[in-house]
Structure 1
């Protein structure tokens, strides 16, 4: 699953959740937007924020609510739970599990 922040209509950054059925990976992809624009767009979408230039923080419940309606696999909920548990065991969640820490991939670095 990928959370993208890309330039949208009228040059305003937009947040999209794509590849919702691929729960073997989760990252934040930034298009041609500044860190400030990406942080603001994530906050406005209610999905999270940037922690630093390499890490984002995503609200797990909001991400699930955004992604699940687009899921096409029957066992998506079980896959989601496994992904979150894997993140938790790897130290990629907040203590309460409400926030997922994710790597940022920037178009500028590619």
Structure 2
């Protein structure tokens, strides 16, 4: 799943690919991206911390029948690797 942050918007590209999670900044600085992310996550170093709720909302509809299961598997994998916050409601993604 690729999250794209561009001026004033957050969107998901390749939302059906749940074997990776990455963030791309498109035509925005880190400071501008941080403003766009307010309420959805934050930038910290070379990472974006995104709420699980935001990731679900960004995935387009309709989705495949197994999307929710694969999404939960992605989140469980991130949790097992320590890529989530203490409350397990925010997941870390590389900013490319």
**Which structure features the higher share of helix residues?**
1
Alignment-derived partner of residue 51 in structure 1: 44
Which ranges in structure 1 are unaligned for 5 or more consecutive residues? 7-11, 106-110
CA distance in 1, matches of 2:61, 2:14: 9
Give the aligned partner of residue 9 of structure 1: none
- Partner of 1:70, secondary structure, is coil
- Give CA-to-partner distance per residue, 1:18-64, whole Å, 9 cap, x none: 21111011111111211100010111xx3211012x11110111221
CA deviation after TM superposition for structure 1 residue 66, in Å: 2.3
Distance 1:71 1:94 in 2: 29
1:13–1:33 contact (8 Å) kept in structure 2: no
Across the aligned residues of Structure 1 and Structure 2, the Cα RMSD in angstroms comes to 1.4
* Superposition TM-score, scaled by structure 1 size: 0.80
Instruction: Give the superposition deviation at 1:97.
Output: 0.8
